[in-house]
Structure 1
Amino acid sequence: MKKFSKLFVLLSVLVVLPLTLLAGCGKSQKTVKLGIMGNDDRIWNPVKKTLKKEGINLQLVSFSDYSQPNGALQNHEIDANAFQHQAFLDNWNKAHKSDIVSIGNTILTPIGLYSKKISNIKDLKKGSTIAIPNDPTNEGRALQLLQEYGLLKVKNLSGFPTPKDVYDNKLNLKFTPLDAAQTARSLDDVTAAVVNTNYALDAKLNPKKALIKEEVNNESKPYINIIATNKSQKNDKDLKKVVEAYQTEATKKNIEKTYDGAFIPAWNIKLK
């Protein structure tokens, strides 16, 4: 009977020991929730795989318009987001008394003017209607784009110009401010629309066929997109790993291949 008992104990140890070792060898996964827009998961999924090897489970939370990700961040529903440029963030912080900060650059996406009714900017006629994003930074950016190509002039260039700041509007262009997500969808109803590149791609518009597009230069700096988080988390080691995993040569090649030049990797960009 004693021999049977000793044998039973020995077998129990042999069965339990491997399971204990297996449990001890497994890495505990820290979940980081990242807010993104639309189809940005095509860029983030490879980053997600890299981070998994480092013990971070990157959970991508997709939003449909620009008004959502910062609110979710403020409410601690997500840990960080990657959708906005610095000018948008600065305006958001001022308007909402928040303290969201940038922890790394991602991409630069020049905006463009698109149309289903004309094929050349010279075909714009008097009284043509143009849809523009209605959030302050992108609205001003859209008007500056039109000024850049000599269609009008705007005051308040140092701030965020609105249609009220437009002058020398020789074609008497009319403006329809819409949520940025709706500008591409308005193309059946307006002559042309200024569309942010991510929404243009979602709507199957080709940035290479835009009537006009932003120049990339020193004035582009405020429009470089960023990874952002609450100020209290800016030194979080896991978020730093997310930035490092994104800002790689592999990500750069993936961006260039996926978006065919429409998105420009911007963490090492040199502007003139």
Structure 2
Amino acid sequence: MMKKIFLFLSLLSFIFASDKTIVIGATPTPHAEILKFSKPLFEARGYKLEIKEFNDYLIPNFALNDKDLDANFYQHKPFLDDFNKNKNTNLVSIEHILLVPMAVYSNKFKDIANIKNGASIAIPNDPTNESRALDLLEKANLIKLENKENKTPLDIKENSKKLKFIELKAAQLPRALGDADLAVIPTNYALGAGLNPLKDGLIIESKDSPYAIVIAVRKGDEDKEKSKILKDVLRSKEIKEYIEKTYQGSVIPTF
């Protein structure tokens, strides 16, 4: 009898501990860094934050959909919408937190105006970030694009410099700088490779970009206590000050 009581109490303890633990997925820089800083803020509200890091843009959404995570924090809403559409999932954004502006980098050129004909440009191969990268190159007057939602190199209608495009996973783009003439790199991966978009970028995305990073949860979990705590903490004064002080404008709070 005592053994059964002990097992029951142990089960209750596990359930209570799980209920007070928020498991969140994130890519390392800057998202997981911000989450690590935020842990005491969650503890002050009676919650433990468990962070699972990913070096991939798809797995954190699969993990959230499969209930291995309570939330994730690494993607912008256009990427989330495209994932839902293509993977038949129902994940939702509950709040935007920051903008990580995309930039163009080069180890071979100091000025975008000096890019030679036939130069190679490495770009992300996931649909929304690839389109975002091409939009940035169009704003720099390097190419002209067809007017559509998710653009690929096939949608380039003018390419006077005959630029060549190399499509890679976003995590591979910093390493591509050794071979490609330029690379368009999302800032979370650029920062992880020691690149600062403000100092090292030849072109940088404007601050009015629609690609703010969001907290994502499963549909139906928007009003749960854990979701409310996530929004409160990650949009707090302490987090805003940390982002501004740590990243010096290369990561921008959106609140």
TM-score, scaled relative to structure 2? 0.90
Residues 26 and 52 in structure 2, CA contact (< 8 A), matched pair in contact too: yes
State the AA in 1 paired with 2:118.
G
Give 1:42 deviation, angstroms. Answer: 2.5
Residues 33-78 of structure 1 deviation map (CA, whole Å, 9 limit, x = unaligned)? 0001113333112321111122211101111111211011011111
CA distance in 2, matches of 1:250, 1:235: 23
For this pair of structures, how many residues does the alignment match?
A: 237
CA distance in 1, matches of 2:247, 2:206: 18
Counterpart check, 1:175 vs 2:165: yes
Q: Give structure 1 stretches of 5+ with no counterpart.
A: 1-26
Counterpart check, 1:121 vs 2:124: no
- Structure 2 equivalent of residue 11 of structure 1: none
Q: Secondary structure at the match of 1:84?
A: strand
Task: Give the one of 221, 224, 230 matched to 1:233.
Answer: 221
Task: Give the one of 119, 126, 131 matched to 1:140.
Answer: 131
State the AA in 2 paired with 1:142.
A
Q: Secondary structure at the match of 2:190?
A: helix
Q: Please say which structure displays the higher CA radius of gyration.
A: 1
State the AA in 2 paired with 1:92.
F
- Structure 1 equivalent of residue 250 of structure 2: 262
Task: Give the one of 193, 197, 200 matched to 2:187.
Answer: 197
Residues 94 and 217 in structure 2, CA contact (< 8 A), matched pair in contact too: yes
TM-score, scaled relative to structure 1? 0.84
State the AA in 1 paired with 2:63.
A
Residues 27 and 74 in structure 2, CA contact (< 8 A), matched pair in contact too: yes
1:99-110 equivalences under 5 Å are 99-110=90-101
Residues 123 and 133 in structure 2, CA contact (< 8 A), matched pair in contact too: yes
Task: Give the one of 243, 246, 253 matched to 2:231.
Answer: 243
Counterpart check, 1:214 vs 2:205: yes
Superposed CA RMSD in Å reads 1.3
State the AA in 1 paired with 2:180.
V
Q: Give structure 2 stretches of 5+ with no counterpart.
A: 1-15
| Runs of 4+ more than 3 Å apart | none
Residues 134-190 of structure 1 deviation map (CA, whole Å, 9 limit, x = unaligned)? 000000000010000111100033x10100000211100000000011111100010
Residues 240-267 of structure 1 deviation map (CA, whole Å, 9 limit, x = unaligned)? 111101101111110011111101101x
CA distance in 2, matches of 1:89, 1:238: 20
Residues 192-251 of structure 1 deviation map (CA, whole Å, 9 limit, x = unaligned)? 00000000000111212201111222xx22x11100000021111122111101101111
CA distance in 2, matches of 1:231, 1:186: 37
CA distance in 2, matches of 1:74, 1:166: 35
Counterpart check, 1:252 vs 2:240: yes
CA distance in 2, matches of 1:123, 1:178: 24
Q: Secondary structure at the match of 2:220?
A: helix
Identity fraction in percent? 41
Q: Secondary structure at the match of 1:107?
A: strand
CA distance in 2, matches of 1:199, 1:51: 26
Q: Secondary structure at the match of 1:232?
A: coil
